[in-house]
Amino acid sequence: MSKEIINLDECLAAGVPLPDIQAIDGERWFPEETTIEQDMTKYWGGDWGCSSEVNRLRAVLMHRPGAELDNFDYREVRFRAPVDPEKCRQQHDLLADYYRSHGVEVYYVEDQRTDRPNAIFERDHLFMTPEGAIITRLAMPARRGEERYTAKRVAELGVPIVKTIAGDGIFEGANAAWVDRHTVILSLSSRANRSGYDQMEAELRRQGVTEIIPMQIPYGHAHVDGLLNFASNDTVVLHACQVPYMVCDALKKKGYRIIETPSLTETKYCYATNFVAIEPGHVVMSVGAPRTVELMEKAGITVDVLDLSELNKGRGSVHCMTAFLKRDPQ
């Protein structure tokens, strides 16, 4: 059946009345103009997000030590000493149970390479933001690739992945720290190069961060949390001789009081700044830093101490093993 083709211009030229042709309907819908933060619970399965190092902790991601600790050369992966794998698992369980006893949901990266003993240090694989996770890119050849399995687990949980460090960028999660919703410390070190730093800064500024406090990590250290950490919304604990003055000055101007760790041994070997705040003014840390604990308690900080000494042989502690997925907003 043939259809007549009507040329409206010819109709008009011939003086023929123009036929009434039905218009094509519009889309008749409009986009849902919400932010991803507003969508988080409705579409992503939970109120994921973090913009603080101290606000009430709600959910964390960890990796329980597995087969990767059973047979490896500790010197090749920068552990300080050989470890007892079973003791490491027991101590890791102790930390996870502590979190649960304080109302924190604990999720695990269960699928991981069996040649990556450092995978227990989950913090390095991601940096959590109000809109979701930034998946990092690790520096050490003995660690590169661990982040793939964290990305997989984060996606399974329904956490949005808003950025993955790409190209020649290198940046590990512990090279950054929230000061407040609009302020972040970003560091350069052997674990974070300029390309990775710039990618982090661009993403954080897109999310509303207006101030970046740059921190150069000295040679011989790796991350921010090995030198500085927040115990409350007005208290920072730091290793004074290796934290740049401009960082201390910026924090003082924001109203932070500074607690200086009194012992290099406690800081570098017992991880005096490598604690996690459960809520403002309440932290959990490993044994070995009694002088620092005393100063913190005198300042009104509640400190819970766990024996994680076997895990500490891997050059990391509580904060290194804990990736935040959810904290109460500012």
**225 in Cβ contact with 261 (< 8 Å):** no
Q: What is the DSSP letter of 208?
A: T
- Give pLDDT, residue 4: 78
Q: Where do the DSSP E strands lie in 202-275?
A: 211-216, 228-232, 235-238, 257-260
59 burial via Cβ count (<10 Å: 0-12, 13-18, 19+):
buried
Count of beta carbons in the 10 Å neighbourhood of residue 95: 23
CATH code linked to domain 47-327: 3.75.10.10
- Give pLDDT, residue 256: 98
Identity at 139, one-letter amino acid code: A
The length of the chain in residues reads: 330
Whole-number Cα distances in Å, 69 to 73, 75, 124, 147, 150: 10, 13, 18, 18, 18
Ordered by start, the domain boundaries in the chain are 47-327
Helix (H, G, I), strand (E, B) or coil at 279: strand
Whole-angstrom Cα Rg for the chain: 26
Token reading at 287: 């044994």
Q: What is the pLDDT tens value at each position of the chain, 330 positions in all?
A: 567 788 889 888 888 888 888 888 888 888 888 999 999 988 998 899 999 999 999 999 999 999 999 999 999 999 999 999 999 999 999 999 999 999 999 999 999 999 999 999 999 999 999 999 999 999 999 999 999 999 999 999 999 999 999 999 999 999 999 999 999 999 999 999 999 999 999 999 999 999 999 999 999 899 999 999 999 999 999 999 999 999 999 999 999 999 999 999 999 999 999 999 999 999 999 999 999 999 999 999 999 999 999 999 999 999 999 999 999 997
Whole-number Cα distances in Å, 130 to 108, 182, 186, 324: 21, 11, 17, 11
**Phi–psi pair at 104, nearest 5 degrees:** -100, 130
Q: Which residues contact 2 (CB under 8 A, 6 or more apart)?
A: none
Helix (H, G, I), strand (E, B) or coil at 192: strand
The Cα 178–Cα 127 span in angstroms is: 10
- Give pLDDT, residue 2: 64
- Give pLDDT, residue 102: 98
- Give pLDDT, residue 31: 87
The Cα 48–Cα 37 span in angstroms is: 8
- Helix, strand, coil percent content, the chain, rounded in steps of 5: 35, 25, 45
The Cα 305–Cα 286 span in angstroms is: 5
Q: Which residues contact 1 (CB under 8 A, 6 or more apart)?
A: none
- Give pLDDT, residue 21: 84
Helix (H, G, I), strand (E, B) or coil at 135: strand
**185 in Cβ contact with 213 (< 8 Å):** yes
Reference 192, options 179, 205, 206, 176; nearest CA is 176
Helix (H, G, I), strand (E, B) or coil at 327: strand
- Give pLDDT, residue 111: 92
Token reading at 45: 């399965």
pTM assigned to the model: 0.92
CA atoms within 13 A on the CB side of 74: 13
Per DSSP bridges, beta strands 235-238 and 257-260 are parallel
